[in-house]
Amino acid sequence: MQLVDETALDELALGAAVLGTGGGGDPYIGKIMSRQAIRDYGPIQMLSLDELADEDLVVPSAMMGAPTVMVEKMPSGDDVLNAFETISRYLNQPIRATMSIEAGGLNSVVPLYLAARLQIPLVDCDGMGRAFPELQMVTHTLHGLSATPMAMSDERGNTLLLETIDNLWTETFARSITIDMGATALIALYPATVAQLKECAIHGTMSRAREIGRIIMNARRQEANPVDSVRAALDGFLVFEGKVSDVERRTEGGFARGDAYMEGIHEYEGKRLRLSFQNEHLAARIDDQFIVTVPDLIAVLDAESAEPITTEGLRYGFRVAVIAFPCAAQWRTEAGIELVGPRYFGYDVDYIPVEERLGS
């Protein structure tokens, strides 16, 4: 068992923003909410799956929608509580713990807020090992687990419950409802027992996020290079160093979609990087040649501090370092590539592991 206090919260949120590959929403808002909840209710227990009984029920909690909207549309706090309690009433059984469905920025800390409010544990796992833009893109789907019953709630108090025939239909209907709710909604979904999660979840994600955050903070304190420190810790690769020269961003269909362009500096001078995103960074091209694609992770970091920059936060003139690192093994299976590979997102390129593209 670990206790998540305010210090651990800062570390976890920072590291999860790296794993979030630009998506999952800016963790700042969720971190403020979680910090206040920890002050009001005390530190949060973070348990491994082995510390729970196999029959215990776990329900993830998260935000769904376009991260760009979060700049102006704040969650109330009660919205995620309403969604979670709706699932509990529907299933007519107690929920033992919550978890993060993805290691996204905001979606790494929404469950912490809920755990503190309800005084239940957070489970040290997730369903992606990173962030992806669509609901069916989780390891639960690879193991045949249903996203529904799923509850959705907005800041006004509207709450809906969905039952669908498969997880792709859950994404379709939930995305439309999210748009009607103002392009963001708070959700609870993928109820599963601990025994099921032992088979399908990615274990230790929250601990990994916290360690990444700790590495970045220590490097800053020691005046070491934080970008190089976190890249080495992730067995990753430096893809590009440059200045953001243009960002084409639009909110469309409940997603933040677009491309960011960067002009190279240092050893990358004279080169141009194009980074395509749908909430999360999906593909990086240098001079129109693909060098990294999903499901491997692409993170854009401030060149000096290694602060992760979300897709909605990218701005002209930012000096950045782009790193890439391997995804969880579940995504490198045939079923994983079919679900979240580059061709699913419309890129005419086969997936090649990042270490094969960039390794020496």
Q: Domain holding 122: CATH number?
A: 3.40.1610.10
Residue 210 lies in a domain: no
pLDDT for residue 360: 59
Least confident of 71-85, 165-179, 274-288: 71-85
Task: Say if residue 122 is in the same domain as residue 46.
Answer: yes
255: domain CATH number is 2.40.390.10
Cis ω for the linkage preceding 149 (within 30 of 0): yes
Q: For residue 36, tell me if it sits in a domain.
A: yes
Phi (first) and psi of residue 5, to 5 degrees: -100, -165
Residue 26 pLDDT exceeds 80: no
Contacts of 353 (CB under 8 A, 6+ apart): 296, 326, 332
pLDDT at 70: 66
Question: What amino acid occupies position 173?
Answer: F
Domain-ending residue, one of 184, 205, 226: 205
What local confidence, expressed as pLDDT, does residue 49 receive? 98
Residues 189 and 107 in one domain: yes
CA 44 to each of CA 1, 59, 95: distance values in angstroms, whole numbers, following the listed order:
10, 16, 16
Q: Are residues 353 and 284 in the same domain?
A: yes
What average pLDDT score do residues 105-117 get? 92
CA distance 229 to 158: 45
Residues 145 and 245 in one domain: no
Q: Are residues 189 and 308 in the same domain?
A: no
Average pLDDT over residues 136-160: 96
Record the pTM.
0.94
pLDDT, averaged across the chain: 94
* Angle subtended by helix axes 6-19 and 105-118, to nearest 10: 150
Q: Which range (82-86, 260-264, 310-314) has the least confidence?
A: 310-314
pLDDT classification of 359: cutoffs 50, 70, 90: confident
Helices (H), the chain: 6-19, 27-41, 78-91, 105-118, 139-142, 167-180, 194-200, 205-221, 226-233, 334-340, 354-358
Same-domain check for residues 102 and 145: yes
Domain containing 319 equals: 236-358
As a whole-number percent, the residues of the chain with pLDDT over 70 amount to 98
Residue pLDDT, tens place only, 203-221: 999 999 999 999 999 999 9
Are both 153 and 271 inside the same structural domain? no
Residue with tokens 């160093």: 241
Burial status of residue 259 (CB atoms within 10 A of its CB: 0-12, 13-18, 19 or more): middle
**pLDDT at residue 71, rounded to an integer:** 65
Question: What does the pLDDT average to over 89-114?
Answer: 93
Same domain flag for 16 and 110: yes
pLDDT recorded at residue 293? 98
225-258: per-residue pLDDT in tens?
A: 999 999 999 999 999 999 999 999 887 777 878 9
Q: For residue 152, is pLDDT > 80?
A: yes
Residue closest to 101 by CA, chosen among 64, 155, 144:
64
The amino acid sitting at 66 is A
**Distance between CA atoms of 174 and 147, rounded to whole angstroms?**
11
pLDDT score of 106: 83
How many domains in the chain? 2
The two three-digit tokens of residue 151, written as one number: 């509850």
Verify that 89 and 15 share a domain, yes or no.
yes
